[in-house]
Amino acid sequence: MMIKSICFVALLILTVHGGKKGGCKISQKKMPATLKKFDACLEKGFKSALDNCKSAEGSLKMSKKETKGCKKIEKKLKACEHSCAEPSVDGGWTDFGNWTECSAECGTGSQTRSRSCSNPTPANGGEECLGDDNESQECNTQGCPVNGGWTDFGDWSECSAECGTGSQTRSRSCSNPAPANGGQECLGDDNESQECNTQGCPVNGGWTDFGDWSECSNTCGAGTQASSRSCSNPAPANGGAACEGDSSVSQGCNTASGCCSGNTCFGGSSTFVALKIGETLYSNNRKYRLVMQTDSNLVIYCDGGSAIWNSDTMDKGVQDGLYFQGDQNLVLYYDGGPWSANSYNSGGKNLVMQDDGNLVLYKDNGEAVWNTETDGKC
C-alpha cells in the first residue's frame, strides 16, 4: 500500500504539472479521481502504453468492458501528457565490511571497518543514509609478551636422613620477571636435589635361623647333635651391637631304641624311653621345646621360658622318663599312675614337636591321632 500511495501521488504531480497545455480535458479538481481509477486499472493488469506505467504482477484477468474503460482513461491522460514516474528510493546501508588489520600486535592498537549507502542507493529524490560510513575500535589490547626469568636458588632443605644417604632439595621460581601475556616460560628445572649424610647408619646384628641338626653322633642310642646360627641377619655394621646369646645349641639323639632325631621321636615295635628325665625335644625353629623335667613333669615351653602345656605329674616320681610303647601309647609311669596319651593301638608312629608349638602323634600316613592343642599359644 505504501508503494501504491507513493505512485499515486507521483502520478498526480506529474499529470497536474503536465496538464497546463491546452490538450488536457481533465480539470485539476477531477485529476485525482481519474488517476485513482487509472491506478486501479494497472493493479488489475491493464497494459498501458504511457511512459513508466507498468501493470502489477500476478494481476487479475480484466473483462472487455473493464479494458475499454481503462483505455478511455489512458487516452485522456495521454492528452494531458501524463507519464508514471518511478517512486523515490531512500538509501540503505550495506553491512560493515571486515575490520582492517590492527595497528599494533599488542599493547592496544586500532582498526576500522566501513560500509556504503548502496543497499539500496538513494534514487528519485530518496533520503540519504543516516549515520557514519565507518567505525573504529581498539584491538590487541593484551599486554605485550614478557619472557620469564629465574630467581636465585634458595637454601637447601633439611636432609631426609641422619645417616645412610638422604636427599635434600632447593628451589627457585620463574618470577624475575614472571612470564606474562604469552611470554616464554623459564627454561630448566625449578628445583634441584643432592645426596646428604652419606655415612652409613649403625646396624645391630641379628641372628639367622638355626640350621639343620647335624648327624647324630650315634646312629642309635645315646648321642648328641648340634645346630648353629650366625650373626648375619644382618651382620653388625657401623658401630651396631653384636648379637646376644649362643651361636649353637646341642641336644641328645638316639637316646633309646626307636630313637629320636631332630624334632621327632620315631616309635618302633618295642617300647623305649623317648625322653629320659632331664632330656629335651626341640622344634625345628627352636621356638618350642618339650622337656622331661627332673621334677617328673613333662612340659612344653615357648622360647623365652613360658610353659604352655604340662602332664601335671610334678613330684610324682616318674620312672625313667616318657615311654613310647610298642602299642603306640605315650606313658609316664609312677606310683599311683600312670599318665598316658590314651593312644593305645592308635597306629601313632611319629611324635613331633612342631614349629607352631603343638606336640602331635602322627600315623605314618600323616594322620594325627593325639596332640596337646598348643599350636600358636606363645
Which helix (DSSP H) or strand (DSSP E) does residue 78 occupy? helix 64-79
pLDDT tens for residues 289-324? 999 999 999 999 998 889 999 999 999 999 999 999
The β-bridge relationship of strands 321-324 and 272-276 is antiparallel
Judge whether residue 215 has pLDDT over 80.
Answer: yes
pLDDT exceeding 70 applies to what percent of the chain?
90
pLDDT of residue 219: 66
Weakest-pLDDT range from 26-35, 112-121, 319-328, 341-350: 26-35
Q: What is the DSSP string of 19-37?
A: TTSTT--S-TTTHHHHHHH
Please compute, for residue 161, the number of CA atoms within 13 A of its CA located in the half-sphere on the CB side.
Answer: 14
What does the pLDDT average to over 48-64? 78
206 and 231 in contact (C-beta within 8 Å)?
yes
Distance (Å, whole) CA 4 – CA 227: 127
pLDDT of residue 276: 94
Integer Rg of the chain from CA: 62
pLDDT of residue 47: 85
Reading the block at residue 99, the C-alpha cell is: 575490520
pLDDT tens for residues 189-200? 999 999 999 998
Judge whether residue 20 has pLDDT over 50.
Answer: no
pTM for the model stands at: 0.36
What does the pLDDT average to over 39-45? 85
Which helix (DSSP H) or strand (DSSP E) does residue 280 occupy? strand 280-282
The closest of 2, 79, 70 to 36, measured between CA atoms, is 70
Coil, strand, or helix at residue 222? coil
Reading the block at residue 309, the C-alpha cell is: 602345656
Top pLDDT among 374 and 19 is at 374
**Domains located in the chain, CATH noted:** 2-79 (no CATH), 223-371 (2.90.10.10)
pLDDT of residue 104: 93
Cis peptide before 338 (omega within 30 of 0): yes
Residues 6+ apart with CB under 8 A from 187: none
pLDDT band, very low/low/confident/very high, at 7 (cuts 50, 70, 90): very low
Measured in residues, the chain has a length of 378
pLDDT band, very low/low/confident/very high, at 59 (cuts 50, 70, 90): low
pLDDT tens for residues 339-373? 999 999 999 989 999 999 999 999 989 999 999 99
Greatest alpha-carbon pair distance for the chain in Å reads 175
pLDDT band, very low/low/confident/very high, at 98 (cuts 50, 70, 90): very high
pLDDT exceeding 90 applies to what percent of the chain?
60
Distance of CA 107 to the CA centre of its chain: 41
Query: Which residues are registered as beta bridge partners of 251?
Result: 225
Reading the block at residue 11, the C-alpha cell is: 502520478
pLDDT of residue 83: 81
Highest mean pLDDT among 112-126, 221-235, 306-320: 306-320
Top pLDDT among 90 and 221 is at 90
* Surface-to-core class of residue 323, CB atoms within 10 Å of its CB (0-12 exposed, 13-18 middle, 19+ buried): buried
Highest mean pLDDT among 3-17, 62-76, 206-220, 232-246: 232-246
Q: Which residue has the cell 624311653?
A: 273
